[in-house]
Homo-oligomer: A and B are copies of this chain.
Amino acid sequence: MFEGKTTGTPIQLMIENTDQRSKDYGDIAQSFRPGHADYTYMSKYGIRDYRGGGRSSARETAARVAAGAVARKILGDTIKITAGMVQMGSHKIDRDRLDWAETRKNPFFCPDAQTAEEWATELDAIRKAGSSIGAVIEVQATGVPAGWGAPIYSKLDGDLAVAMMTINAVKGVEIGNGFDAASLSGEENADEMRAGPDGKPDFLSNHAGGILGGISTGQPIVARFAVKPTSSILTPRKSVTLEGENIDILTKGRHDPCVGIRAVPIAEAMMAAVLADHLMLHRAQCG
């Protein structure tokens, strides 16, 4: 930054962790928490920073959110990105009540106000039980013109897939209809077109989630991802120690029974980051 402006070169953002809580890491240091990266990290490097998960901590996603804010500046005002939680456990929102504006009004970033209320009750019970639950996040980008992406390398859906899958605790990513497309017939899945007012086609549906053949259609880009339930729970689970002894382990500390909620701003950030890359890739090649 210089005189309030960027200077064209890499931007470094630095977030100081001012919310560290000193605590006894004894149990965590000596054993592998199920569902966490403890064992895999140790397998790879032979050393592990056990304080709060170290490099494997989802604190890393703070950097993604910060980068996403920069990416949105590059994208400008015509591209709007909104994410929300559309499923908690097996309880999905009612799509008939979907209103993206609601996502800013409830603590679940839920686009369906009524479901948000029901989730509040459900999550309270889960928290009290010392348990946790998974979720599905949906993220949309409107205003992306047709033509971003590429037919083989740098496919737009491929880049979104890796961007979303690398968010901590994510186990699945889909575009448009996603896994539901498996159950559809070709007639159902086809996004039909009619001549639009400006010479461009109007699509009559958006099963494709705004991407065909790795390239944007001009419709909203729609991605969805599944977040597994929080692995740190108060119910003891079987594990082993560093020395290979059996142990039962439970994870105290901050208890966040549905980490999916926190993934909503990350989803928006990753969508913004991928689109900013593609804006530049497209401009590089197609001017």
Binding site for B on A (CB under 8 A): 2-3, 5-10, 32, 34-37, 39-41, 43-45, 47-49, 51, 54-56, 60, 87-90, 126, 131-136, 145-153, 155, 157-162, 164-166, 168, 170-196, 199-201, 204, 207-209, 211-218, 226-233, 235, 237-240, 244-246, 257, 260, 280-287
Contact across chains for A218 and B179 when beta carbons are under 8 A apart:
no
A47 shortest CB reach to chain B, Å:
6
What is the CA–CA distance of A283 and B135 in the complex, to the nearest angstrom?
36
Contact across chains for B212 and A179 when beta carbons are under 8 A apart:
no
Residue in B226, B257, B284 whose CB lies within 8 Å of A182: B226
Report copies per complex: 4
- Nearest CB to that of A87 among chain B residues? B182
Contact across chains for B44 and A282 when beta carbons are under 8 A apart:
yes
Of the candidates A2, A32, A148, A245, the one having the most CB atoms from chain B within 10 angstroms of its own CB is A2
What is the CA–CA distance of A181 and B283 in the complex, to the nearest angstrom?
38
A146 shortest CB reach to chain B, Å:
4
Top 10 A-B pairs, shortest CB-CB distance: A37-B213, A172-B174, A8-B45, A132-B186, A40-B215, A284-B284, A43-B146, A161-B165, A172-B178, A134-B182
Decide yes or no: A187 and B55 within 8 Å by CB, A134-B182, A171-B174, A181-B226 being known contacts.
no
Contact across chains for B149 and A40 when beta carbons are under 8 A apart:
yes
Contact across chains for A246 and B134 when beta carbons are under 8 A apart:
no
What is the CA–CA distance of A184 and B166 in the complex, to the nearest angstrom?
20
A122 shortest CB reach to chain B, Å:
12
Contact across chains for B36 and A212 when beta carbons are under 8 A apart:
yes
Contact across chains for B161 and A173 when beta carbons are under 8 A apart:
yes
Contact across chains for A181 and B172 when beta carbons are under 8 A apart:
yes
Contact across chains for B171 and A179 when beta carbons are under 8 A apart:
yes
What is the CA–CA distance of A146 and B38 in the complex, to the nearest angstrom?
12
